[in-house]
């Protein structure tokens, strides 16, 4: 078996970015509104076009994008926002930041939103955030039908799902607003950064101003003069702008996206095929309408006790492979019971059961098939050792 690859390293920055970064550093022009055609403005145009959306606004993080989306929707204080209980802590945090109240929806063993629980909680909520966790897409047809009927706006948290499609449509373009992350472990890496997309003029104008387009800086966005003048001086400036260096790092990676998506899917499916058939592993399949862009794999450890699950993680670590069972690793930010900042304590038995068995392994898109085989082989080895050791 070949050597285990480095799974924790981020994607390196394409050489094409270096000349642009040098140019920017020499001019000192790091502020997005320093010139009319800054790399941030260009990135917004290119990203909107690539996704097939009318408008894009680049900001400092996906969390900032989610916060600005909630603000642009004009939700009043204490408005209820329905979101999956399986998500990253930054998502309920953005809701709290926007003075709203997170309501958690159950997720099933396939990591997707439990539609019965969604239907039950929706009527009481003023907005919905759908986190496509690790690219696992919930049934967007059912969700949009229910949300539209209830007249509740949907924000897509596609932070870690760039490149995934649902029935041929890009994830992030199905709800009213889509939010993405450029943090180092997402599909495009600028260290930190985010972007939101929408077709709605009123939402983008408000988000642009609130992101920090003070005075007449909104004129450096695709001109929607009337809508912008309507909001002039009427909104707070939260200053969540992206700086030009980050945009310069992202732009050449946008060209590589198709290739990364293809390799990510190939790698994921190759590992899934090897793991499938192991009596202790269940790899949930994608929904029929979903075409994923994974840079990691998740699977459930079946027919194992808590002790055996913990043993497996330790065993894999001793073989050099970092795995994590979301609900069994201390202080995991994706385990809802660790969100102690939430005032309304919520219990979600289905999601808790799933998190206690769902195992997460990074599979960077740069891996070769041989390296993927080394990862899969190590998982199977660690399981065999664990389960033949007869730990109770
Ligand atoms: C990473 C991530 C976020 C937060 O993105 P930042 O850019 O770090 O704020 C939100 N939601 C999900 C599902 C994520 O994976």
pLDDT in tens, the chain (392 residues): 668 999 999 999 999 999 999 999 999 999 999 998 899 999 999 999 999 999 999 999 999 999 999 999 999 999 999 999 999 999 999 999 999 999 999 999 999 999 999 999 999 999 999 999 998 999 999 999 999 999 999 999 999 999 999 999 999 999 999 999 999 999 999 999 999 999 999 999 999 999 999 999 999 998 788 999 999 999 999 999 999 999 999 999 999 999 999 999 999 999 999 999 899 999 999 999 999 999 999 999 999 999 999 999 999 999 999 999 999 999 999 999 999 999 887 999 999 999 999 999 999 999 999 999 999 999 999 999 999 986 65
Q: Which CATH architecture has domain 15-253?
A: 3-Layer(aba) Sandwich (3.40)
Determine the residue of 60, 158, 160, 240 to mutate for testing ligand 1's pocket, defined as the one with the most ligand atoms within 8 A of the Cβ atom. Answer: 160
134 lines ligand 1 (CB under 6 A): no
The b/e string for 150-174 (b: 16+ C-beta within 10 A; e otherwise) is eebbbbbbbbbbbbbbbeeebbbbb
Give the tens place of pLDDT for each residue, 329-388.
999 999 999 999 998 879 999 999 999 999 999 999 999 999 999 999 999 999 999 999
93 lines ligand 1 (CB under 6 A): no
Query: How wide is the angle at C-alpha 105 spanned by C-alphas 102 and 111, nearest 5°?
Result: 125
CB within 8 A of 267, min separation 6: which ones?
Answer: 294, 363, 365, 367, 369, 372
280 lines ligand 1 (CB under 6 A): no
Q: What is the pTM of this model?
A: 0.97
Q: How far is the CA of 255 from the centre of ligand 1 (A)?
A: 22
Q: Which CATH architecture has domain 256-388?
A: Alpha-Beta Complex (3.90)
The alpha helices in 28-139, defined as continuous H runs, are 39-51, 62-72, 90-97, 115-121
Q: How far is the CA of 88 from the centre of ligand 1 (A)?
A: 7
Between the alpha carbon of residue 76 and those of residues 72, 125, 239, the distances in Å are 11, 12, 21
Q: Which of 96, 71, 70, 65 is nearest to 339 (CA)?
A: 96
Give the tens place of pLDDT for each residue, 289-341.
999 999 999 999 999 999 999 999 999 999 999 999 999 999 999 999 999 99
- pLDDT of 47 reads 98
- pLDDT of 223 reads 77
188 lines ligand 1 (CB under 6 A): no
Closest ligand 1 atom to Cα of 193: 7
* Cα–Cα dist 39/185, whole Å: 22
Question: Hey, how many other C-beta atoms are within 10 angstroms of the C-beta on 355?
Answer: 22
Q: How far is the CA of 62 from the centre of ligand 1 (A)?
A: 6
* Token output for 161: 């799902």
Domain-wise residue ranges, the chain: 15-253, 256-388
Q: How far is the CA of 391 from the centre of ligand 1 (A)?
A: 37
Closest ligand 1 atom to Cα of 131: 13
Closest ligand 1 atom to Cα of 192: 7
88 lines ligand 1 (CB under 6 A): yes
HSE (side-chain half, CA atoms, 13 Å) at 252: 14
159 lines ligand 1 (CB under 6 A): yes
117 lines ligand 1 (CB under 6 A): no
Report the nearest-CA residue for atom 6 of ligand 1: 62
Question: Hey, how many other C-beta atoms are within 10 angstroms of the C-beta on 384?
Answer: 14
* Cα–Cα dist 137/236, whole Å: 34
* Cα–Cα dist 280/324, whole Å: 16
Q: How far is the CA of 58 from the centre of ligand 1 (A)?
A: 14
253 lines ligand 1 (CB under 6 A): no
Q: Which of 186, 157, 182 is nearest to 362 (CA)?
A: 186
HSE (side-chain half, CA atoms, 13 Å) at 103: 17
DSSP 8-state symbol, 4: P
246 lines ligand 1 (CB under 6 A): no
- pLDDT of 392 reads 59
């Amino acid at each position: 078996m070949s050597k285990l690859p480095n799974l924790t390293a981020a994607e390196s920055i394409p050489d094409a970015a270096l000349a642009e970064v040098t140019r920017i550093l020499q001019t000192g022009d790091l502020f997005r509104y320093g010139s009319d055609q800054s790399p941030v403005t260009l990135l917004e145009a290119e990203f909107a076009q690539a996704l097939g959306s009318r408008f894009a606004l680049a900001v400092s993080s996906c969390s900032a994008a989610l916060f600005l989306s909630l603000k642009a929707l004009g939700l009043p204080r204490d408005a209820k926002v329905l979101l999956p209980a399986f998500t990253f802590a930054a998502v309920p945090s953005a809701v709290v930041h926007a003075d709203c109240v997170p309501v958690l929806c159950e997720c099933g063993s396939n990591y997707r939103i439990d539609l019965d629980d969604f239907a039950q909680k929706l009527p009481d909520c003023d907005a919905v955030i759908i986190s496509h966790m690790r690219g696992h897409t919930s049934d967007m047809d059912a969700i949009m039908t229910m949300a539209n009927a209830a007249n509740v706006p949907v924000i897509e948290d596609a932070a870690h799902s760039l490149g995934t499609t649902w029935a041929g449509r890009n994830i992030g373009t199905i709800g009213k607003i889509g939010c993405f992350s450029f943090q180092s472990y997402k599909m495009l890496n600028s260290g930190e950064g985010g972007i939101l997309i929408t077709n709605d003029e009123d939402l983008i104008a408000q988000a642009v101003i609130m992101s920090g387009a003070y005075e007449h800086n909104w004129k450096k966005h695709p001109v929607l003069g009337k809508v912008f003048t309507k909001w002039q001086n009427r909104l707070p400036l939260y200053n969540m702008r992206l700086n030009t260096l980050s945009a310069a790092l992202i732009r050449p990676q946008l060209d590589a996206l198709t290739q990364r998506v293809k390799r990510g899917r190939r790698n994921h499916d190759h590992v899934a095929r090897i793991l499938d058939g192991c009596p202790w592993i269940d790899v949930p399949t994608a929904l029929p309408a979903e075409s994923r862009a994974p840079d990691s794999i998740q699977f459930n450890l079946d027919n194992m006790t808590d002790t055996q699950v913990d043993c497996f993680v330790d065993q894999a670590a001793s073989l050099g492979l970092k795995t994590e069972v979301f609900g069994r690793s201390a202080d995991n930010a994706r385990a809802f019971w660790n969100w102690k900042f939430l005032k309304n304590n919520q219990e979600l038995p289905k999601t808790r059961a799933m998190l206690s068995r769902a195992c997460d392994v990074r599979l960077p898109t740069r891996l070769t098939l041989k390296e993927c085989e080394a990862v899969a082989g190590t998982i199977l080895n660690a399981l065999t050792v664990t389960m033949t050791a007869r730990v109770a």
